[in-house]
């Protein structure tokens, strides 16, 4: 039984992928402390690694064009073992909701509203996401297009305003990074922003032109990664190695904007854009979580699940970390534990599907 009735266009899928990667520029702070001025090198390496992984995702979609990830698991592994794997993915998607809510909440409580309790922001964000997810995939997709375009425009404007502060010597010395640091940082960049594209296996079947899904998602990855790369390069060229000392380098760069004492406090705009970006990412994973649970439980609709999932997400988001330091530590170990979800399971699924000649 098809739970999701909405259909999105290939262009909307493209902008959802771009939006997901735009939201993930926040994660650059997790690796900048390791790689400093060489963070851009790590992103390039991560992009090269994720290309064949994304090819695995699109190949699975080609073999199962009208099935999402949960349905693919059931078809390949059988109903019982397939549900076990699907349950793991549900926890994976749900965990990403909670961590991203907490990350953006900590950002706002640290930089803009230090006297406001984090529970206030958490509840507001989850309620807003709950409302959007209830409206369906089409609404999320339309929101993704608008937010992606606004984010690109904001990036261009802030970059223009900070051209005077660019210092190319900030990139020196180039390639001053040891192998251990390179592997650790690359693993983080692959696992957190790039590997999370696997969530779109929950969305591919609802694209109106399934045959061109591969083209849309690869183009989205290229544009999103180029945006990610541009943000990192600009941050390094403007604030240099001190960027890793700041939890959010983008915010620090925006604080430098001062055009004739008229255009100032642009960092507030950056904070709003970051909020919108993370909001879109949370909505995508929120939708994937409730849809996955509904299919595992064989419900007619995922909408009754949005409120209980939201309530539990609020509790987990508030209680899962004691401080932002815990978030950085989690990023270093999280990137290892997610490898089965973004690489191992999809590759095994594709191999089995190819051997059994699913079409």
Q: Which residues contact 267 (CB under 8 A, 6 or more apart)?
A: 111, 251, 254, 255, 257
Q: What is the pLDDT of residue 268?
A: 83
pLDDT at 20: 94
Other beta carbons within 10 Å of 327: 19
Residue 229: alpha-carbon gap to chain centroid: 15
User: Measured between alpha carbons, how far is 98 from 171 in angstroms, rounded to an integer?
Assistant: 35
Question: What pLDDT does residue 359 have?
Answer: 54
Burial of 297 (0-12, 13-18, 19+ CB in 10 A): exposed
Q: What is the pLDDT of residue 179?
A: 85
SS3 146: helix
What percent of the chain is helix, strand and coil (3-state, nearest 5)?
80, 0, 15
User: Which residue shows structure tokens 């994937």?
Assistant: 288
What kind of fold does domain 10-347 have according to CATH? Amino acid/polyamine transporter I (1.20.1740)
Give me the residues of the chain with pLDDT under 70, please: 1-2, 27, 29-30, 241-247, 260-264, 324-325, 328, 331-332, 358-359
């Amino acid at each position: 039984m098809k739970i999701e009735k909405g259909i999105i266009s290939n262009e909307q899928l493209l902008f959802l992928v771009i939006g997901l990667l735009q939201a993930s520029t926040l994660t650059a702070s997790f690796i900048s402390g390791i790689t400093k001025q060489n963070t851009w090198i790590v992103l390039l390496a991560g992009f090269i690694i994720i290309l064949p992984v994304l090819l695995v995702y699109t190949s699975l979609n080609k073999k199962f064009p009208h099935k999402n990830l949960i349905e693919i698991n059931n078809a390949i592994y059988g109903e019982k073992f397939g549900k076990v794997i699907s349950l793991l993915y549900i926890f994976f998607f749900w965990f990403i909701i909670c961590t991203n809510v907490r990350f953006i909440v900590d950002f706002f409580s640290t930089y803009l509203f230090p006297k406001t309790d984090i529970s206030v922001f958490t509840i507001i964000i989850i309620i807003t996401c709950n409302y959007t997810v209830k409206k369906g995939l089409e609404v999320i997709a339309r929101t993704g297009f608008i937010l992606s375009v606004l984010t690109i425009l904001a990036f261009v404007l802030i970059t223009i305003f900070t051209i005077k502060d660019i210092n190319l010597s900030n990139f020196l010395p180039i390639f001053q990074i040891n192998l251990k640091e390179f592997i650790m940082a690359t693993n983080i960049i692959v696992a957190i922003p790039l590997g999370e594209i696997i969530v779109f296996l929950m969305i591919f079947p609802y694209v109106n032109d399934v045959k061109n899904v591969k083209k849309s998602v690869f183009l989205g990855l290229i544009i999103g990664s180029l945006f990610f790369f541009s943000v990192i390069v600009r941050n390094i060229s403007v604030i240099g190695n001190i960027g890793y000392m700041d939890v959010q380098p983008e915010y620090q760069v925006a604080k430098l904007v001062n055009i004739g004492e008229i255009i100032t406090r642009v960092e507030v705009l950056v904070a709003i854009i970051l909020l919108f970006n993370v909001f879109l990412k949370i909505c995508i994973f929120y939708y994937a979580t409730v849809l996955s649970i509904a299919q595992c439980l064989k419900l007619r609709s995922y909408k009754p699940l949005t409120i209980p999932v939201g309530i539990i997400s609020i509790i987990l988001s508030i209680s899962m970390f004691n401080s932002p330091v815990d978030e950085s530590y989690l990023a270093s170990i999280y990137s290892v534990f997610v490898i089965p979800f973004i690489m191992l399971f999809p590759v095994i699924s594709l191999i089995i599907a190819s051997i059994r000649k699913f079409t």
